[in-house]
Amino acid sequence: MDGHLNPLTGLAVHLQQVGHTVRWYTGPTYADKIKKLGITYYPYGKAQEINQLNMDTVLPERQKIKSSIARLRFDINNVFLLRAPEFVEDLLAIHEEFPFDLLICDVLFTGAPFIKQLLHIPVVAIGVVPLGETSKNLPPTGMGLEPAATMLGQLKHRFLRYMTINHLLKPCTDLYNKLLAQHGLPATKDFVFDAFIRQPDLYLQSGVPAFEYPRSDISPNVHFVGPMLPYSNGHKHPFKQVAEVEQYKRVVLVTQGTVERDPEKIIIPTLEAYKGDSETLVIATTGGSQTAELRARFPQKNLIIEDFIDFNAVMPYAHVYVTNGGYGGVMLAIQNNLPMVIAGVHEGKNEIAARVGYFKLGVNLKTETPKQEQVRQGVEQVLANETYRQQVRRMGLEFRQYNSNILATRAISTLLQRQQKVNDWAHELMQ
């Protein structure tokens, strides 16, 4: 999916530029994107591609699941875990042709732990979502809960951690272990989310420590490397409607990403909230979903509706960012000192939304389907309280202190050097 692939593109190009041979295995939807980066592309062979374009068609029952935990359990099993044997078969075949020394993948590429053990190849996982490792200091991941400030709250979170690991999401861990056993590999004693983080040799977390809840028990393989954002060739895509922006007192940028295809969730409530408002310009980017229909439905001159807009170009002109909580978009907003109104629950969006609220980078509406009044109230709250803008500026300053490509490459090089020493030592023993 876009949010799992795009953050890795900048690192992939950088690694290639500094002399590594880089090849990419992913679904056919992204073939052209990878080839345009100048990277050799391997298509899915055995693996079934499931992404934002076909998810509801391939898995129609998914839309009927309303509970966020039940939806999370369904997604982990069907979108990710059950694809693992297919990924393994494809990668074993690729390795015969291209004996790669290292596998870099997003954290939810479920083939990685199998490949690491079957081929004895080091794995680097990229955290493209907030760190989901279980901590004694925090509520269980997936529920969108903030850390507890009281002893009673901490006891409640302890109980929720137990229930999540041993009951609510235990079927996911059981399925993972079943798949491991089918490949002759030992079962994990970890909760499935923890296994994805702890099993890689190196876990590079996109983001900075300041955007993560305080915890005392983070795994030693976890390294924050700053915001990992899509590759940019440096060409500017200027925002063309600057003259229109200057006519309004405030500018609201709204998106719901590329996974969510239903504009009724966030885009339409936002457009409804401000249509005809002479002081507010709303800029909506649809991700290519129903753009023409939205333009016909909302012809007001204070509404700009586009398929795609370069966020780096438009965010400096915006006052508030209304979003469903895509991780990349949130980090771009932070880098552009743009406070948020966030309305997301599924696909892990609740964890991102909770952090935005916790660190006072914006208002968390705690819903997937906000009413237009909720959107408007959230925007007005952000505009009226300078704390949000101050906090997002402070966080943006820390973001800018990290060069993610350099930090990630440095960590990867150290891992490769260590692996080479192990290989040399093993070779000497065999002599």
Domain boundaries, the chain: 1-226+404-430, 241-401
| Residue among 203, 257, 207, 256 at smallest CA distance from 227 | 207
Return the structure tokens found at 429: 């023993």
| Measured CA distances, 59 to 45, 69, 71, 74, 324 (Å) | 20, 17, 12, 10, 22
Return the structure tokens found at 342: 């966030």
User: What is the model's pLDDT at position 284?
Assistant: 95
C-alpha span between 252 and 203 (Å, rounded): 35
Q: What is the largest CA-CA distance in the chain?
A: 80
pTM for this one? 0.91
pLDDT band with cut points at 50, 70 and 90 for residue 192: very high
Output the average pLDDT for the chain: 93
Identical fold, 1-226+404-430 and 241-401: yes
What's the average model confidence in pLDDT over 364-376? Answer: 96
C-alpha span between 7 and 406 (Å, rounded): 15
pLDDT band with cut points at 50, 70 and 90 for residue 421: confident
- pLDDT at 151 exceeding the cut of 70: yes
With beta carbons less than 8 A apart as the criterion, state whether 111 and 91 touch.
Answer: yes
Place of tokens 């907003």: 333
- pLDDT at 66 exceeding the cut of 90: no
C-alpha span between 172 and 79 (Å, rounded): 12
What's the average model confidence in pLDDT over 306-315? Answer: 90
User: What is the model's pLDDT at position 424?
Assistant: 75
Give just the sign of the alpha carbon dihedral 239, 240, 243, 249: negative
Sequence letter at residue 276:
G
User: What is the model's pLDDT at position 347?
Assistant: 79
Q: Are strands 340-342 and 320-323 parallel, antiparallel or unpaired?
A: parallel
- pLDDT at 71 exceeding the cut of 90: no
User: What is the model's pLDDT at position 340?
Assistant: 98
What's the average model confidence in pLDDT over 288-312? Answer: 93
Return the structure tokens found at 39: 């990277």
With beta carbons less than 8 A apart as the criterion, state whether 129 and 348 touch.
Answer: yes
Residue spans of beta strands (DSSP E) within 264-327:
280-285, 303-306, 320-323
Name every residue whose Cβ is closer than 8 Å to that of residue 27 and which is 6 or more positions away in sequence.
43, 44, 47, 49, 51
User: What is the model's pLDDT at position 260?
Assistant: 66
pLDDT digits 0-9 by tens, 198-235: 999 999 999 999 999 999 999 999 999 999 989 987 77
User: What is the model's pLDDT at position 258?
Assistant: 67
User: What is the model's pLDDT at position 346?
Assistant: 82
1-226+404-430 placed in CATH 3.40.50.2000:
yes
pLDDT band with cut points at 50, 70 and 90 for residue 67: confident
- pLDDT at 259 exceeding the cut of 70: no
The helix (H) or strand (E) run that includes residue 321 is: strand 320-323
Out of 191-205, 237-251, 358-372, least confident range: 237-251
In the CATH scheme, what is the homologous superfamily, with its name and number, of domain 241-401?
Answer: Glycogen Phosphorylase B; (3.40.50.2000)
pLDDT band with cut points at 50, 70 and 90 for residue 425: confident
- pLDDT at 289 exceeding the cut of 90: no
- Please give the share of the chain, as a percent, with pLDDT higher than 70: 99
Burial 57-79 (b: 16+ CB within 10 A, else e): eeeeeeeebeebeebbbbbbbbb
- pLDDT, greater one: 74 or 55: 74
